Copies of this chain bind each other. A is one copy, B any other.
Amino acid sequence: MAVTIRDVARVSGVHVSTVSRAFTAAHLVNPETRARVLAAAEELGYRPNRAARALSTRRTGNLGLIVADIANPFFPPLLKAAQAQARARDYHVFIADTDEQSRVEEELVRSMAKQVDGAVLVAPRLTNTAITALAEELPLVVVNRRPPGVPGVLMDVGSGARKAMEHLLALGHREIALLSGPGRAWTSGEIERAANRVADDHGVLIQRIGPNPPTEEGGRAAAEEVAASGATAVLAHNDLVAFGLIRRSAELGLSVPGDLSVVGVDDSHLARYTAPALTTVHMPVAEAGRGAVDLLLQSVTSGGSAGTVSLETALVVRDSTAPPPGNTSAAPPPVTGDDAAG
């Protein structure tokens, strides 16, 4: 068996409770005793058993991270940052992939509950009500979601979408389609709302195509409808959908950005590498990951549940957007101001 606190106690000639104190309440033990205990621990290679500790302290030192799809390139940088932040605070992290299924999400949180001090739900697919209910059972922080009473980190995708729309309008587009994501995704609503607002201000009407699965396949499947719609520009739910659309459109004989301008959302790793490089809304995922963990640890430590943090997004203009076919009147500044033009 592994070496336990008892072994350390025996070797250092003190009682187990003293060993315990040497590790968790240094000031309660004589420096010399403590040194002796630590030396013995070192020598034996003793490591406190966190699970056993958790049993009496009710603090596991673990966090849960729940995401819809690890393989979606949006998530890994967020996971990496969150994991790093947790580790820096000496927390271990459980990770779980829900495969985009809200039931799995709920079940996962519940089954994890006893083993973690709290969990981060990244872009959850659950309803707000379900999330709020879960938050009763254990400290929760959500990313890109706004259930009442639950602290969270939001990446302000709405302002990014607004900038994207203004960019497209400035390029001269008037027929713009929105390739929307799953209804359960918070970003879907945010993007749609923001896009419609800008469109209204400019007296332009947006066609909404969707909902679509937030995957390449989702984008591919929508390509024909986009082509038939007569749109000259598309704002896609995310980069993956944008890629799917671009590739399928090419097969249908439409070139991007020549025939069709496409804007993604996420600014995932891929966006820089594709042909054409993707104009997209940059999401500060690493900050969000760190922020979510900070928020969670804060609410775990100080009991009180913190508020909501909102993070800026930005439009990154690359090569997938251009003036509409047969239009040469591109306005120079790609990212315009806030003024509306009726």
Contact = CB atoms under 8 A, between A and B. Distances in A.
Interface of A: 2, 47-52, 54-55, 60, 62, 65, 69-71, 73, 75-77, 79-80, 83-84, 87, 92-97, 99, 110-115, 243, 247, 269-270, 273-276
A140 to B, nearest CB: 15
A120 B102 CA distance: 28
A276 to B, nearest CB: 8
A83 B71 contact: no
Copies of this chain held together in the complex: 2
The 9 A-B pairs of least Cβ separation, nearest first, read A275-B275, A70-B80, A95-B95, A51-B51, A273-B274, A49-B114, A71-B80, A71-B76, A71-B77
Contacts of A92: 94, 96, 111-112, 115
Contacts of A76: 70-71, 73, 75-76
A106 to B, nearest CB: 13
19 contacts: A47-B114, A70-B76, A70-B79, A71-B80, A71-B269, A73-B269, A75-B76, A83-B95, A83-B97, A92-B94, A92-B96, A92-B112, A93-B94, A93-B95, A93-B96, A269-B270, A273-B273, A274-B275, A275-B275
B55 A51 contact: yes
B55 A84 contact: no
A304 B113 CA distance: 32
A270 B278 CA distance: 13
Nearest to A58: B1
B70 A115 contact: no
A256 to B, nearest CB: 12
Given A2-B113, A69-B80, A83-B95, 17 more contacts: A47-B111, A47-B113, A49-B114, A70-B79, A70-B80, A71-B269, A73-B269, A79-B95, A80-B97, A87-B96, A92-B94, A92-B96, A92-B112, A269-B270, A270-B273, A273-B275, A274-B274
Given A71-B269, A274-B275, A275-B275, A114 B2 contact: yes
A300 to B, nearest CB: 16
Contacts of A115: 50-51, 62, 92
Contacts of A48: 114
A250 to B, nearest CB: 12
A275 B49 CA distance: 51
A76 B79 CA distance: 10
Contacts of A96: 83, 87, 92-93
Contacts of A275: 273-276
Contacts of A69: 80
A79 B93 CA distance: 14
| Residue of A65, A70, A99 contacting most chain B CB atoms (<10 Å) | A70
